[in-house]
Structure 1
Amino acid sequence: MKVTRLHMLAFLLVHGLCLSQDIDSLNAVYKQYYETALRANSPNGRFVILNHSNTYGKNDYELLDVKNGKASMLGNFDKFQFLNNNLLLMRNDLLCRFTDLRTGQFREVSGNYLIEPAQQSAQVVLFNTSLKELLLASVEGKVLWRKQDVTVYQLDTTNNNLIYISGNDLVVINLTNHRSKTYKVESGIQWISSSGQRIYAANIQSKQINLYTVDLGSEKLTGQLIAMPEGFESTTRLTTYLEVRENEHFIFPLYLKRKLERNENPELKITYSNKNGEDKMPYYHLGIYNLNKEQWDYLPDMNDDLPVYKFLNDSGDFIVYDLADDVVEEQQNKILDLKLFFDYGNHSYVLSQKRIEEGNYLWDRDTKQFVYFNDTTWVSHNISTGKEVDLMPANTKGWASRDNSGLAKAPATKPVKIKDRSAIMISNQFDYFIVDLKTRQTKQVTMGEEAKLKYQLLLSKENYPKSSWNIRMGEIDLSKDLIFKTFNKLTYDSGVARVTYKNNKTTFYRQGHYREIIPYDNGFFLTSNFALEPFKLTTFEKGKYHTVYESLKKEKKDFEGARCEIFQYKTDFGTSNAALLLPINYDPNKKYPMIVNIYEELSHDVLFFLQPYVNIRIGFNYIHYLMNGYIVLLPDLQYELANIKNSVIMSLEKSIDSAKSLASVDEKNIGVIGLSYGGYETGLALTNSSYFKTGVAGVMVSDLVSNALSQSEFITKPNYMRVENQQMRMNNNVLDHWNLYLENSPIYHVKNIEVPVLLWTGLKDKNVSPAQARMFFQGIKRQKKKAVLLEYINESHNVFKPLNQVDLNIKIWQWFDYYLKNKKPADWIRPLVQ
Structure 2
Amino acid sequence: MKAIKLYLIGIFLISTLHFSQNIDSLDSVYQQYYTTSLSASSPTGQHIVLNHSNAYGKNDDELITVNTGSKKVLEKHTQYHFLNAHLLLMRNDKHIRILNIKTGQSKDITGNFTFDISNVSEKLLLHSANARELVSVSYDGTELWREDKINAYHFDHKNNRVVYTSGTTLGIRDLNNYQVKTFKLESECHWLANSENNIFCANITRSQIEFYKLDVLSNQLSRQVIDSPSAFEFTANLKGYLEVREETHFIVPVYLKSKLYSKTNPELQISYSNRNNNENILKHYMGIYNLSNQTWDYAPDTTLKLPVYKFLNEKGDFMVFDESQNIVEEQQYPVLDLKLMLDYGKSSYLLPKKRTNDGNYLWDRDTEQFIYFDFKRWRCHHLRKGEDHELFPLEIHGWENLKNSGLQYFPSELPIKIKGTSSIMLHNQFDYYIVNLNTHQIKKITAGEDKNIKYKVQISKDQYPVSSWNIKFAMLDLEKELTFNLFNEVTYDSGFATYEYQKNKMTSYRQGHYKEMRPYRNGFFLTSHFALEPFKLTKFERGKYSVVYESMKAEKKHFAKSRYQIYQYKTQYGISNAALLFPVNYDPKKKYPLIVNIYENKSQDDLLYFWPPYLRTTFGFHYMHYLMNGYMVLLPDLQYEIGNVKNSVITSLEKSIDIAKTIAPIDDKNIGVVGLSFGGYETGLALTNSSYFKTGVAGVMVSDLVSFSLTNSEFDGMPNYRRTENQQLRMNRNLFEDVGNYRDNSPIYHLKNINTPVLIWTGVKDKNISHLQSQMFFLGMKRLQKKAVFLEYNNETHNVLLPSNQLDLNLKIWQWFDHYLKNKPPADWIGLMAN
Pairwise TM-score range, normalised by the shorter structure: over 0.9
Distance (Å, rounded) in 1 between the aligned partners of 2:320 and 2:83: 42
Distance (Å, rounded) in 2 between the aligned partners of 1:264 and 1:18: 58
Deviation at 1:400, TM superposition (A): 0.7
Contact 1:88 1:101 in 2 (8 A): yes
Range with greater deviation from structure 2 (143-152 or 722-731): 143-152
Distance (Å, rounded) in 1 between the aligned partners of 2:564 and 2:152: 53
What is the correspondence of 1:577-592 to structure 2 with a 5 Å cutoff?
577-592=577-592
Range with greater deviation from structure 2 (10-19 or 605-614): 10-19
Is 1:15 equivalent to 2:18 in the alignment? no
Distance (Å, rounded) in 2 between the aligned partners of 1:613 and 1:187: 57
Cα deviation digits, residues 299-348 of structure 1 (max 9, x gap): 12111111111111111111011111101000132111111111111111
The residue number in structure 1 matching 2:639 is 638
Is 1:199 equivalent to 2:199 in the alignment? yes
Is 1:703 equivalent to 2:716 in the alignment? no
The residue number in structure 2 matching 1:519 is 519
Deviation at 1:497, TM superposition (A): 1.3
Contact 1:18 1:814 in 2 (8 A): no
Question: What amino acid is aligned across from residue 198 of structure 1 in structure 2?
Answer: N
Contact 2:513 2:530 in 1 (8 A): yes
Cα deviation digits, residues 126-147 of structure 1 (max 9, x gap): 1111111221111211111122
Distance 1:578 1:18, change over 3 A: farther
Question: What amino acid is aligned across from residue 687 of structure 2 in structure 1?
Answer: L
Cα deviation digits, residues 199-254 of structure 1 (max 9, x gap): 11110111111111111111111101011100111111111111111111111211
The residue number in structure 2 matching 1:437 is 437
Contact 1:338 1:352 in 2 (8 A): yes
Deviation at 1:186, TM superposition (A): 2.9
The residue number in structure 2 matching 1:144 is 144
Question: What amino acid is aligned across from residue 536 of structure 1 in structure 2?
Answer: K
Q: What are structure 2's unaligned runs of at least 5 residues? A: none
Contact 1:333 1:410 in 2 (8 A): no
Contact 1:19 1:807 in 2 (8 A): no
Cα deviation digits, residues 44-73 of structure 1 (max 9, x gap): 222221111100001111112223222211
Deviation at 1:525, TM superposition (A): 1.4
The residue number in structure 1 matching 2:673 is 672
Question: What amino acid is aligned across from residue 703 of structure 1 in structure 2?
Answer: D
Distance (Å, rounded) in 1 between the aligned partners of 2:738 and 2:18: 47
Cα deviation digits, residues 16-45 of structure 1 (max 9, x gap): 575432311111110000001111222222
What is the correspondence of 1:336-355 to structure 2 with a 5 Å cutoff?
336-355=336-355
Cα deviation digits, residues 330-380 of structure 1 (max 9, x gap): 013211111111111111111111111111111111111000011211101
Range with greater deviation from structure 2 (177-186 or 339-348): 177-186
Distance (Å, rounded) in 1 between the aligned partners of 2:5 and 2:560: 11
The residue number in structure 2 matching 1:770 is 771
Distance (Å, rounded) in 1 between the aligned partners of 2:2 and 2:710: 58
Cα deviation digits, residues 378-437 of structure 1 (max 9, x gap): 101000001111011221111111010010101111111111111111111111111111
Deviation at 1:104, TM superposition (A): 1.4
Distance (Å, rounded) in 2 between the aligned partners of 1:236 and 1:102: 48
Distance (Å, rounded) in 1 between the aligned partners of 2:234 and 2:321: 21
Contact 2:316 2:344 in 1 (8 A): yes
The residue number in structure 2 matching 1:804 is 805
Deviation at 1:279, TM superposition (A): 1.2
What is the correspondence of 1:430-509 to structure 2 with a 5 Å cutoff?
430-509=430-509
Is 1:163 equivalent to 2:159 in the alignment? no
Distance (Å, rounded) in 1 between the aligned partners of 2:208 and 2:804: 53
The residue number in structure 2 matching 1:593 is 593
The residue number in structure 2 matching 1:25 is 25
Is 1:606 equivalent to 2:575 in the alignment? no
What is the correspondence of 1:149-298 to structure 2 with a 5 Å cutoff?
149-298=149-298
Deviation at 1:520, TM superposition (A): 2.2
The residue number in structure 1 matching 2:741 is 740
Is 1:331 equivalent to 2:336 in the alignment? no
Deviation at 1:718, TM superposition (A): 0.3
Question: What amino acid is aligned across from residue 772 of structure 1 in structure 2?
Answer: Q
Contact 1:418 1:424 in 2 (8 A): yes
TM-score, with length taken from structure 2: 0.99
Partner SS, residue 502 of structure 2: helix
What is the correspondence of 1:781-820 to structure 2 with a 5 Å cutoff?
781-820=782-821
Distance (Å, rounded) in 2 between the aligned partners of 1:746 and 1:764: 22
What is the correspondence of 1:30-179 to structure 2 with a 5 Å cutoff?
30-179=30-179
Question: What amino acid is aligned across from residue 698 of structure 1 in structure 2?
Answer: G
Distance (Å, rounded) in 2 between the aligned partners of 1:335 and 1:65: 56
Distance (Å, rounded) in 2 between the aligned partners of 1:703 and 1:596: 23
Distance (Å, rounded) in 2 between the aligned partners of 1:316 and 1:369: 16
Question: What amino acid is aligned across from residue 306 of structure 1 in structure 2?
Answer: L
The residue number in structure 1 matching 2:4 is 5
The residue number in structure 1 matching 2:695 is 694
Question: What amino acid is aligned across from residue 825 of structure 1 in structure 2?
Answer: P
Question: What amino acid is aligned across from residue 365 of structure 1 in structure 2?
Answer: R
Question: What amino acid is aligned across from residue 640 of structure 1 in structure 2?
Answer: E
What is the correspondence of 1:522-561 to structure 2 with a 5 Å cutoff?
522-561=522-561
Partner SS, residue 247 of structure 2: coil
Question: What amino acid is aligned across from residue 505 of structure 1 in structure 2?
Answer: K
Distance (Å, rounded) in 1 between the aligned partners of 2:89 and 2:166: 27
Partner SS, residue 320 of structure 2: strand
Contact 2:166 2:188 in 1 (8 A): no
Distance (Å, rounded) in 2 between the aligned partners of 1:509 and 1:76: 35
Contact 1:416 1:473 in 2 (8 A): yes
The residue number in structure 2 matching 1:406 is 406
Deviation at 1:827, TM superposition (A): 1.1
Question: What amino acid is aligned across from residue 808 of structure 2 in structure 1?
Answer: D
CA RMSD of aligned residues (A): 1.1
Cα deviation digits, residues 700-724 of structure 1 (max 9, x gap): 0000000000012101210000010
Contact 2:11 2:22 in 1 (8 A): no
Range with greater deviation from structure 2 (681-690 or 413-422): 413-422
Contact 1:213 1:222 in 2 (8 A): yes
Question: What amino acid is aligned across from residue 735 of structure 1 in structure 2?
Answer: F
Question: What amino acid is aligned across from residue 668 of structure 2 in structure 1?
Answer: E
Question: What amino acid is aligned across from residue 452 of structure 1 in structure 2?
Answer: N
Contact 2:199 2:216 in 1 (8 A): yes
Contact 1:18 1:810 in 2 (8 A): no
Partner SS, residue 344 of structure 1: helix
Distance (Å, rounded) in 1 between the aligned partners of 2:512 and 2:159: 45
Distance (Å, rounded) in 2 between the aligned partners of 1:706 and 1:401: 29
Distance (Å, rounded) in 2 between the aligned partners of 1:771 and 1:15: 38
Distance (Å, rounded) in 2 between the aligned partners of 1:547 and 1:311: 46
Contact 2:710 2:720 in 1 (8 A): yes
Distance (Å, rounded) in 2 between the aligned partners of 1:100 and 1:276: 60
Question: What amino acid is aligned across from residue 731 of structure 2 in structure 1?
Answer: M
Deviation at 1:585, TM superposition (A): 1.3
Deviation at 1:515, TM superposition (A): 1.0
Range with greater deviation from structure 2 (544-553 or 798-807): 544-553
Distance (Å, rounded) in 1 between the aligned partners of 2:316 and 2:829: 66
Partner SS, residue 384 of structure 1: coil
Cα deviation digits, residues 649-682 of structure 1 (max 9, x gap): 0000000001101111000000000000000000
Distance (Å, rounded) in 1 between the aligned partners of 2:140 and 2:258: 54
Distance (Å, rounded) in 1 between the aligned partners of 2:48 and 2:282: 46
Contact 1:578 1:603 in 2 (8 A): yes
Distance (Å, rounded) in 2 between the aligned partners of 1:429 and 1:381: 24
Distance (Å, rounded) in 1 between the aligned partners of 2:277 and 2:130: 38
Cα deviation digits, residues 248-268 of structure 1 (max 9, x gap): 111121111111101111222
Deviation at 1:188, TM superposition (A): 3.1
Question: What amino acid is aligned across from residue 665 of structure 1 in structure 2?
Answer: I
Distance (Å, rounded) in 2 between the aligned partners of 1:503 and 1:225: 54
Partner SS, residue 773 of structure 1: helix
Is 1:567 equivalent to 2:567 in the alignment? yes
Question: What amino acid is aligned across from residue 566 of structure 2 in structure 1?
Answer: I
Contact 1:375 1:410 in 2 (8 A): no
Question: What amino acid is aligned across from residue 407 of structure 1 in structure 2?
Answer: L
Range with greater deviation from structure 2 (431-440 or 742-751): 431-440
Distance (Å, rounded) in 1 between the aligned partners of 2:65 and 2:759: 50
Alignment coverage as a number of residue pairs: 833
The residue number in structure 2 matching 1:386 is 386
